[in-house]
Amino acid sequence: MTRRRILYGVHGYGRGHAARAQAMLPELMKRYDVRVLAGDDAYDQLSGNYDVVRIPVLRYYHGPNNRRSLWQTLRRNVPVIADLLSDGAACRMVCDDPFR
Provide the pLDDT for residue 93: 80
Q: What is the DSSP letter of 4?
A: P
Provide the pLDDT for residue 14: 67
Rounded-to-integer distance, Cα 73 and Cα 13, Å: 14
Rounded-to-integer distance, Cα 41 and Cα 18, Å: 8
Provide the pLDDT for residue 45: 92
Spell out the residues 6+ positions from residue 14 whose beta carbon is closer than 8 angstroms to its own.
40, 41, 42
**pTM for this prediction:** 0.80
Give the DSSP H/E element, type plus range, for residue 15: none
Provide the pLDDT for residue 100: 66
Q: What is the mean pLDDT of each run of 10 residues along the chain (100 residues)?
A: 88 80 95 92 92 89 92 93 89 76
What is the CA angle 89-94-99, rounded to 5?
Answer: 130
Work out whether strand 52-54 and strand 5-10 pair parallel, antiparallel, or are unpaired.
Answer: unpaired
Provide the pLDDT for residue 98: 67
CB 41 within 8 A of CB 13: yes
Provide the pLDDT for residue 21: 94
